[in-house]
Chain A
Amino acid sequence: MANRNREQGGRGQAAPAVTSKYAPWPEKTSVMNTHVKRLDGPDKVAGRAKYSYDINRPGMIYGKIVRSPYPHARIVSIDTSAAEKAPGVKATLSWKEAGAQVMYQGDPVAAVAADTEERANDAARLVRVRYEPLPHLTTVEQAMAADAPAVFPGGNTKQANTDETGDLDAGFKAAAHVVEQTYSTHVITHVCLETHGCVCEWEGDKLTAWVSTQAVHGTKDGFATGLKIPASNVRVITQYMGGGFGSKFGPDAQGLICAKLAQQAKLPVKLMLDRKEEHLDTGNRPSATAHIRAGVDANGMLTAFDGQSWGTGGAGAGSNFPLPYIYQFPNRRRTHKDVYINAGQQRAMRAPGHPQGCFLTEILMDELADQVKMDPVAFRIQNAPPDRPNAKWRAYLPEAARLFGWDKRHPTGDASPGPVKTGFGCSVHQWGGGGRGTQAHVDIANDGSVVVKCGTQDLGTGTRTVVAIVAAETLGLPVSAVKPEIGDTQYPFSGGSGGSTQTASVSPAIRNAAGAALDQLFEKVAPTLGVQPADLVAENARIHVKGNASKGVSWKDACKLLGTQPISADGKWEDGLSSTGTSGVQFTEVTVDIETGIVRVKRILTMQDCGLVVDRLTAESQVYGGIVGSLNFALYEDRILDRNTGQMVNPNMEFYLLAGMSDIPQIDVHLVDSPEQRARGVIGIGEPPTVSTSAAIANAVRNATGVTIRSLPLHPHRILQALEQQKAGGTL
């Protein structure tokens, strides 16, 4: 997946050489690190913002995909003749050929386009596909069974290399206590509110596609490759998009199908997936299970970790994740096995791998702490890696514990009377983030107007606003004086919004482009003031001599000097303005009704860093959002497949549960602002906050009930089941 390889950055590499002429960031920023309102907020709240789903082109028709109802089958024949004759139909195509196999429910097979969406849906039902059903695997257990049918070429499982460090036997000999248990997390889907899809329009051999994507340039390349046309013939536009969470990096089958239908019909085609298709065929977070044996010595120091893990990323996709997570096990061994089932393939999902590895490790940590009768926070502090700017758990844990009131935590098992039990839990996390190749362009006109162009996109994180903030900071202007233009492959290259790299990639590029533009302006202004360009600074919408604010000109007057020669400058991401590695801790308070099994989260407190914050307002929103996402993972979401038929039984939003307003606890966000963090430059915050909330909630449930639930989700019936098993002398 697009950003899977970047997740492990930031474990304390040496800082790269500074190459940016405009590094470092100012010690005291005027716009950055303040609360700036989202520039596109007014358009979004007014309904004026046009998402791909909202693009209505003249003459536009609607596409609909015909998908496999079977989890595994061979296509015998595809007959589109009846569909072709249906009212309003303008194009039909077979996406797969007779003889090919479908590997999951929802695998695309054929498609139609008609003048209205209702007629496209009708026509899709008239496409006659004959299937020969084949044996399928729906659960990990079915796929791993000794007598499982051979469904996937090369085997139903794939064993990864064993990762081993230290001396495992010596580690377990040194252990005073050993915990041996199995832990697991489940599959969830991205549930982007704007489903995947696009509008495609051809003009001759040139394609314009309005795509709901978190990578306009990557999607352009995907169209070029998939349609076998030159990349220069493709333009991708994404002015607004309704959520991606890691699942929207390319055109996908629906994008290529949409383009082909448009080519055939010679009309613009809109093809947005429906909610069921979105659940089935646009990615998911893989499951994770690990059988773990871990040791701790009498002083509460971890000694050994031996874990065998497995998980499923669906039909032929991987499921690996970091394990053990963060803590220092001096002697450790880990093996992982990918298990394939007949379900849609996984895609990167907000902090891919980390929520799984974090949950599996953090529940174990509370169990180990209990073995040595240590407070979970103190136990974590002494087993966390040493303090570094990108690894601050030893500093954040005691500080956040104090703010949270951790000293009021009772021992595991709320002994108070009544059915509603209260508990506290904590968890830690990390993420890489950081910047990489991005280009930007800045134009300054003689009327003083500033336009910044960058081929990035705003998937809701506030990138459009970030672009304007960085330019404003560099040019000494208010944010309102800068016009950011993004979301179009006609603008300079920027990568996908993934791996929490976007802000750290875009900001340095804008800084360098704006810096270069300002240098050109200084060249024009300096002679009029009788000074050298290097003597000038830009601040408060003025250009003046350093240390002498009165000797200068207004921004407007400075730009008048440009005459007929506007400034046009380029910049790119360079080292010195961004870095990688973030750390954070989370604390939760929950109540558990032991009669109903219902868990309510009362409070969540997080301490989180991300280097120099560009916009505190939108960065804090990212933290709120990450926490809510993880709360959903812990308590509500679950992709449920019928084990016999391989069908998803909740491909909607009423049985696929997500939190609503009444489910949201008090959330206290402490976004670290320190000289140490500011000096690191820009990093990125999209993913780290969503890693550890679910583990902290599960540990709080354990503290409340005295029962260790080692798997997600924490649905009421599973809580009750665990309580019953505890009465019977065991645990789930």
Chain B
Amino acid sequence: MPPKDETPEKPERFSVSRRDFLKTAGVGSLATAVTAATAVEVEAQAGPRVVGPGDVPVSLMVNGKKIDLKIEPRVTLLDALRMRADLTGNKRVCDRGTCGACTMIIDGRTAYSCSTLAIEVQGKQIRTVDGLATSAGLHPVQQAFCDKDALMCGFCTPGFVVASVALLEKHPTPTPEQAHRLLDGNICRCGTFTRIMEAVTTAKVVTRG
């Protein structure tokens, strides 16, 4: 899997241990997950508080707006927004952190939202493709994608747009190597890569958002 960023800092989204992840995701105990219909909170004997497996309140700050949801802890950020908040701009494609169609910017860093639990990014600033255009029009990166025909079917496009915005906020005039590296976490099946590079290298300067 290619890196989503140049500097492999310890990603914040894995701040819980794998054991805790399994508990909260409900996949460690299938029987519990499918029989418990109501929210339960169990205080583990040692270690952090365990929530779920039923619906729990989750509050997300998406594109500058607060979204309150009642979801199971195992729900990913992508699914929470797509299926519970009708924010369908970012797409679900591989659903396991490979293709980048779900790319969002969380506290300034790109992340695969299909592999990020919604419950873990409460309190963080989440930016999706849906929030890039304003009443004044498309984001300059979005405009450049249109101008260069850097899209065909358009299903990878939201992820590429978000990754490109993150790239240009970090490197306003990226070298080809920087652009390649920061876009290598995204896959386009229609084969628009050449024109995505044209769009990224001609997009009007982006101010840090």
Give the interface of A toward B (CB within 8 A): 37-38, 40-42, 44-51, 53-54, 56, 86-87, 116-119, 122-123, 125-126, 191-195, 240-243, 245, 274-275, 459-462, 617-618, 620-622, 624-629, 652-654, 658-662, 664, 667
Query: Which partner residue on chain B sits nearest A43 by CB separation?
Result: B154
Q: Chain A nearest CB: distance from B45 CB in Å?
A: 27
- Chain B, interface size category, equals 35 or more
Taking CB atoms, residues of chain A closer than 8 Å to B146 are: 37-38, 41-42, 45
Taking CB atoms, residues of chain A closer than 8 Å to B130 are: 46-48
CA distance A627 to B194 in the complex (A): 11
Q: Chain A nearest CB: distance from B21 CB in Å?
A: 15
Taking CB atoms, residues of chain B closer than 8 Å to A48 are: 89, 130
| Cβ contact within 8 Å between A38 and B186 | no
| Cβ contact within 8 Å between B93 and A193 | yes
| Cβ contact within 8 Å between A41 and B149 | yes
Q: Chain B nearest CB: distance from A630 CB in Å?
A: 9
Q: Chain A nearest CB: distance from B29 CB in Å?
A: 12
User: Could you pull out 27 A-B pairs where Cβ atoms are within 8 angstroms?
Assistant: A38-B146, A38-B151, A45-B142, A45-B146, A45-B161, A46-B138, A47-B90, A87-B34, A116-B83, A117-B79, A117-B83, A125-B30, A126-B34, A193-B99, A194-B93, A240-B153, A243-B190, A460-B190, A618-B152, A624-B191, A652-B96, A653-B187, A654-B94, A654-B97, A660-B183, A661-B184, A664-B194
Given contacts A653-B99, A664-B194, contact A658 B128 (CB under 8 A): no
Query: Which partner residue on chain B sits nearest A60 by CB separation?
Result: B83
Give the interface of B toward A (CB within 8 A): 1-2, 30, 33-35, 37, 72, 74-75, 79, 82-83, 86-99, 101, 128-130, 132-133, 138, 142-143, 145-147, 149, 151-158, 161, 179-181, 183-197
| Cβ contact within 8 Å between B96 and A654 | yes
> Would you list the 7 A-B pairs with minimal beta carbon distance, nearest first?
A47-B89, A628-B191, A460-B153, A242-B155, A44-B154, A625-B191, A54-B88
Given contacts A48-B89, A621-B192, A625-B152, contact A660 B184 (CB under 8 A): yes
| Cβ contact within 8 Å between A660 and B187 | yes
Q: Chain B nearest CB: distance from A692 CB in Å?
A: 15
Q: Chain A nearest CB: distance from B23 CB in Å?
A: 16
| Cβ contact within 8 Å between B96 and A45 | no
CA distance A54 to B195 in the complex (A): 26
Taking CB atoms, residues of chain A closer than 8 Å to B88 are: 47, 50-51, 53-54, 56
Q: Chain A nearest CB: distance from B162 CB in Å?
A: 9
Which of B37, B95, B128, B184 meets A662, CB within 8 Å?
B184
Given contacts A621-B192, A654-B1, contact A193 B91 (CB under 8 A): yes
Other A-B pairs, 20, CB within 8 Å; known A51-B88, A53-B91, A195-B93: A42-B138, A44-B154, A45-B154, A45-B158, A46-B133, A47-B88, A47-B129, A53-B92, A116-B72, A192-B189, A193-B99, A620-B149, A624-B191, A625-B152, A654-B94, A660-B183, A660-B193, A661-B179, A661-B193, A661-B197
Taking CB atoms, residues of chain B closer than 8 Å to A625 are: 152, 190-192
Q: Chain A nearest CB: distance from B87 CB in Å?
A: 8
| Cβ contact within 8 Å between B96 and A194 | no
Query: Which partner residue on chain A sits nearest B79 by CB separation?
Result: A117
Given contacts A41-B146, A275-B94, contact A621 B195 (CB under 8 A): yes
Query: Which partner residue on chain B sits nearest A83 by CB separation?
Result: B34
CA distance A620 to B190 in the complex (A): 12
| Cβ contact within 8 Å between B158 and A122 | no
Which of B35, B92, B145, B196 meets A41, CB within 8 Å?
B145
CA distance A652 to B95 in the complex (A): 9
Given contacts A38-B149, A47-B89, A47-B128, contact A193 B155 (CB under 8 A): yes
| Cβ contact within 8 Å between B142 and A628 | no
Which of A47, A241, A243, A622 meets B158, CB within 8 Å?
A47
CA distance A123 to B33 in the complex (A): 11
Which of A624, A653, A662 meets B98, CB within 8 Å?
A653
Given contacts A191-B189, A653-B94, A660-B187, contact A118 B72 (CB under 8 A): yes
Query: Which partner residue on chain B sits nearest A629 by CB separation?
Result: B191
Taking CB atoms, residues of chain B closer than 8 Å to A46 are: 89, 129-130, 132-133, 138, 142
Query: Which partner residue on chain B sits nearest A465 by CB separation?
Result: B149
